[in-house]
Chain A
């Protein structure tokens, strides 16, 4: 019985995955190798590497990926280590607070960074005021082409992913591993390098791979910074003449290969290291209580990083209530007018409704699929369930851009997905599916964690007392899982609300725009578009902040949601 159900579920999931994930991805790659007559060619990909503009774009994307990951690691590792080792005042709330930047939409934040660090921004105005800078020769903090602005934004946005992975690795570390080194004469610094760091590598690699792929393929932030010499933006710009220009496909294929290679490398590294076999700690309290100044120093560090990471969004909030903010430290006058005006704007209210619809649809799909997949992985014994486990994690390795591109191509007249496009080009089904596929790994991980924690005998007890499988599911299994499912679901929902690549590429008509595309369109609107975009952004942030804090609280244990 159980085996048959598992096989049916697995087949259904595999089918869904094949059609809505593998097929579009393979199609994009195929498109890059097919010439106008339909024959095979490698000319497009070769030409990408021969074209200095594309080459520079790829190189810049790679640099952005690597530097952003290193920067995020430099923030995340000390934080994770300190939370693992020490207890300091306000530790509980602070260790939740430093996760918040993950949910602040980075491309909204980019607006704030420009406002704060631009040539006529708040920092320069402050420096002028205290006489540290000559008004005639302002410093361009973000640099030519805004490269460092993007790095800062990525690092501040993504470090929580690394933090959670490293914290999870540390939590699984037997405290005796470190004590043994200490006991054999190892000083604290050398112990960090020789024992703690190597043993946390699984967490560093798992989180690092996600952060790298994320920032390597980031589209929204470079767009807001007007940084066009990076591959994702070049691909986006190539959309306009997609019919005649095969290079966007070739670029997408190259990015996919690089992302998958990084993902597989990190997996291979994790597989080869035998670190999973380390004994689990025996519940000994490894935290050292820091009293007085030292403890408050850590409190200040955590608070400082949180404040710094939310500085861009503070800029957005200020911008949304500013009458005029140019060349001054703070806005001269405050107003609520942008919020009023935004609510009256033809883009704003529909975009909120659209996003709510798309995101809830995606969440529902994810919950159903995630529960089914997790059940097969944890509870069934059919062969190939490890493969299924690996398969559903793949969307983490595939840039959103790639999938969006595949969907777009397949949705054209006469192609496989064209029946999914509603009347008047309504992309609701496409967007729900695209959102759902990319967030599925988080929901699966959450559900798997929940199923592993809940004992199978609890379910068997219900069955033995005469409950039918369906009633057992409803009365025993689902209630036990509800916290995990809810956490995964909220996360899927939140990420869908802020999704950039799919939203920008797949929503074509203004009436179907989700929030992110509405914000992007407003940013490019003359007049007070920036302020209106900020107002909409603030609404989105408040909404997401509440969702994510809820998810983190429900998940109870940090870290389970973002692990590979």
Chain B
């Protein structure tokens, strides 16, 4: 049975529809990500699951049980806030003990469990510290400990790393994943950082303008984006308008773009675009092989950006359109103005419906 189910949830704030018939199911023990740009509704959805926001319509189910009308303090879904929300009038120990006190846990047991929770986040002995005596990373760990200590059924994280610096963020990624997995928790994690989502998630939902665009594992979403919006949000991509010319070999579709004619594969298995259909194609920059050529070039290099392990080229096709190309582990650097040909395997050309 699913640990958490959001069943066609809509949420209106006045005129604005923040969530539009959103449905997701989250498996027990899974670390599930809600990914999207600002204003896409991901935080609103998390807050509906937490019970901090009442959906305008739809239901929230925990292990098959309808909790839509249950107030947050009866839901057993502990939340980690973006601002940490550590109470400044209490010490670290008091902050962590709070949820246990509310559950009327005996005093000795509270002390033990607060200690364990601090060890879990690798901050043993910090009980007596004040909140403002700690760095951002330490505050982050305390706010995790405060949520973990009540042994919740699920852990809800709202952009927990967005206030940390880049180095600390990398460190906390694996730390949070470790903690969720070691405790066998179901985690729902909201972020706008696609690298965070791709590196940490078991599965993720990409959201845009109050709707779920695609749900899948990171590799699946990256390789087979369902829509142009997903393709451009997850990683960099070249997104081109295209017209279907006909069927190609091995289930592929031949499309015509401004950059030429390519064979590609449709994004969804149950969808076959017909001849003349208007579609999009998405080609990742690193899927394109670039080569210098004397004659018969398709385009010309406009800009070269050298990043050490990667070279990024901006290529203007003779047809007028610009294409981004990344070459990993480059042996030689092509200069601006060089004529090039571009090649791509049909497997890496994704044909999208919208």
Residue numbers of A with Cβ under 8 A of B are 174, 176-177, 179-187, 190, 194-195, 198-199, 201, 273-275, 277-279, 282, 285
With a cutoff of 8 Å between Cβ atoms, the chain A residues found around residue B146 in the complex are 180, 184
Residue numbers of B with Cβ under 8 A of A are 13, 50-52, 71-75, 77-79, 81-85, 87-89, 98-99, 102-103, 130-132, 146-147, 150
CB distance from A288 to the nearest CB of B (A): 9
Bound-state CA distance A171–B353 (Å) is 47
Closest to B104 in A: A185
Q: Is the CB of A195 within 8 A of B50?
A: no
Q: Is the CB of A199 within 8 A of B82?
A: no
Total A-B contacts with CB atoms under 8 angstroms apart: 81
Q: Is the CB of A278 within 8 A of B88?
A: yes
With a cutoff of 8 Å between Cβ atoms, the chain A residues found around residue B102 in the complex are 184-187, 190
Bound-state CA distance A278–B73 (Å) is 23
CB distance from A86 to the nearest CB of B (A): 14
Q: Is the CB of B13 within 8 A of A275?
A: no
Q: Is the CB of A180 within 8 A of B79?
A: yes
With a cutoff of 8 Å between Cβ atoms, the chain A residues found around residue B131 in the complex are 274, 277
Say whether, besides A274-B88, A275-B88, A181 and B79 are in contact (CB < 8 Å).
Answer: no
Question: Given A174, A186, A275, A285, which contacts B89 in the complex, CB threshold below 8 Å?
Answer: A275
Q: Is the CB of A277 within 8 A of B150?
A: no
What are 13 A-B pairs at a CB distance below 8 A? A176-B82, A176-B83, A176-B85, A179-B72, A180-B85, A180-B87, A180-B146, A182-B73, A183-B75, A183-B77, A184-B150, A199-B87, A279-B83
Say whether, besides A274-B131, A285-B13, A183 and B83 are in contact (CB < 8 Å).
Answer: no
Q: Is the CB of A179 within 8 A of B85?
A: yes
CB distance from B261 to the nearest CB of A (A): 49
Question: Given B13, B73, B83, which contacts A184 in the complex, CB threshold below 8 Å?
Answer: B73
CB distance from B152 to the nearest CB of A (A): 9
CB distance from B159 to the nearest CB of A (A): 10
Question: What 16 new A-B contacts, CB under 8 Å, besides A179-B81, A187-B73, A199-B88?
Answer: A174-B85, A176-B83, A176-B85, A179-B52, A179-B72, A179-B85, A183-B79, A184-B78, A184-B147, A185-B99, A186-B102, A201-B89, A273-B88, A274-B88, A278-B88, A285-B13
CB distance from B128 to the nearest CB of A (A): 14
Bound-state CA distance A186–B150 (Å) is 12
With a cutoff of 8 Å between Cβ atoms, the chain A residues found around residue B130 in the complex are 274
CB distance from A202 to the nearest CB of B (A): 10
Q: Is the CB of B150 within 8 A of A182?
A: no
Q: Is the CB of B83 within 8 A of A182?
A: no
Bound-state CA distance A275–B103 (Å) is 26
Q: Is the CB of A177 within 8 A of B73?
A: no
With a cutoff of 8 Å between Cβ atoms, the chain B residues found around residue A186 in the complex are 73, 98, 102
Question: Given B13, B83, B147, which contacts A282 in the complex, CB threshold below 8 Å?
Answer: B83
CB distance from A178 to the nearest CB of B (A): 8
CB distance from B238 to the nearest CB of A (A): 35
Closest to B13 in A: A285
Closest to B81 in A: A176
Bound-state CA distance A331–B81 (Å) is 61
